[in-house]
Amino acid sequence: MTHQERVFSGVQPTGNLHLGNYLGAITKFVALQESHECLYCVVDLHAITVWQDPKELAGNIREVTAAFIASGIDPKKQIIFNQSQVSGHAELAWVLNCVARMGWLNRMTQFKEKAGKHKENASVGLFTYPNLMAADILLYHATHVPVGEDQKQHLELARDIAQKFNVDFAETIKEAGFEEGIFFPQPEPLIQGPATRVMSLRDGSKKMSKSDPSEMSRITMTDDADTIAKKIRKAKTDPDALPSETDGLTDRPEANNLVGIYAALKGVSKEEVLKDHGGAQFSAFKPALAELAVEKVSPIADEMKKLLNEPAELDAILKDGANRAQTIADPIMKKTKEIVGFIG
């Protein structure tokens, strides 16, 4: 039995969806839908690994759903759904909790960053978060996973978990009809282009993030044109003009970031941006960047607003997506149970 190509990725509904999420992940989701069968998941189970106000969570789930659709993902052609509606995610995560090793999870840098100094106070879910992420992908035998750079380590872990499962259960995997012994294919991370790690607009050494206390550090997908322009105008830069080659961006994190954002918004390489803008001062480059960002983000923000005015329609899209996702997940979960040796 071989595995067909299938794309899976997820975005957490934790509010403040930003340009990093859009350029690092969502634009890739849109592109892949032309060539692949895709599942795009609003990962609400992951969101609750840190406290989420129950009164706000549903709204945040709808916001990510709206962002997917407004960015151009077609929910009829592809599957958009929220994780908690397909029970296989939590079920498979449990099995994988028993495959992954403590030592592997102890090495996860994102847990260390998120838990900070108060490791003893972090939820157990935050620690096992990467196992749930592996379950998301493996539940559909997904082969390709578009993500930003920050998810690379989690993807490597998912590959290790898939491999260990295949080795641990080699005999029953063969008996289940997978002659080559591969039940879970190793998912390939897709981390490409000029904006795999969009940085904070206030500090070029920090990732643009949903949880940065400064609103000015990120452009969100719901910012209006004036706000976008203001945030770019105030973005931190250095005093030099833009270089004409990418080598000249080394050790200039803020310049590198703005050029990367420009390139990704325009769909070109950083080299091409510098061909046009090399030698320009930021006083000239920033307005050009602001104009481009407004041109690309504002229509999405407008469309999101429209979609969010019809929550029942978004909920119906999620329900339909969950039903279709479940149709793929059910036989894989059933086989997993057989391979592990459960009855029923």
The site for ligand TYM (CB under 6 A) is made up of 8-12, 20-21, 24-25, 43, 46, 133, 136-137, 145, 147-148, 150-151, 154, 195-198, 207-208
CA 299 – CA 276 distance, rounded (Å):
25
Largest CA distance in the chain: 69
Q: Supply the minimum distance, in Å, between the C-beta of residue 147 and ligand TYM.
A: 4
Catalytic residue among 152, 174, 210, 266: 210
Q: Residue 305: how many CB atoms within 10 A of its CB?
A: 12
Active site residue 114: yes
Q: Supply the minimum distance, in Å, between the C-beta of residue 177 and ligand TYM.
A: 26
Question: Between residues 49 and 237, which has the closer beta carbon with respect to ligand TYM?
Answer: 49
CA 218 – CA 198 distance, rounded (Å):
9
Q: Are the CB atoms for 161 and 100 separated by under 8 Å?
A: yes
CA angle 260, 261, 266 (to 5 degrees): 100
Question: Between residues 83 and 246, which has the closer beta carbon with respect to ligand TYM?
Answer: 83
CA 206 – CA 334 distance, rounded (Å):
43
CA 81 – CA 60 distance, rounded (Å):
13
Question: Between residues 152 and 175, which has the closer beta carbon with respect to ligand TYM?
Answer: 152
Candidates 36, 25, 33; CA nearest to 143 is 36
Q: Which helix (H) or strand (E) segment is 153 a member of?
A: helix 152-168
- Name the E strands within the chain: 6-11, 37-42, 79-82, 144-146, 188-190
Question: Between residues 88 and 148, which has the closer beta carbon with respect to ligand TYM?
Answer: 148
CA 327 – CA 223 distance, rounded (Å):
37
Buried b vs exposed e over 68-96: b needs ≥16 C-beta within 10 Å?
Answer: bbbbebebeebbbbbbbbbebbebbbebb
Q: Supply the minimum distance, in Å, between the C-beta of residue 130 and ligand TYM.
A: 8
Q: Are the CB atoms for 8 and 88 separated by under 8 Å?
A: no
Candidates 115, 136, 112; CA nearest to 46 is 136
Question: Between residues 113 and 310, which has the closer beta carbon with respect to ligand TYM?
Answer: 113
Q: Supply the minimum distance, in Å, between the C-beta of residue 22 and ligand TYM.
A: 8
Active site residue 207: yes
Catalytic residue among 28, 207, 231, 296: 207
Question: Between residues 208 and 273, which has the closer beta carbon with respect to ligand TYM?
Answer: 208
Which residue in the shown chain puts its C-beta closest to ligand TYM? Answer: 24
Question: Between residues 94 and 342, which has the closer beta carbon with respect to ligand TYM?
Answer: 94
Active site residue 210: yes
Q: Active-site positions?
A: 114, 207, 210
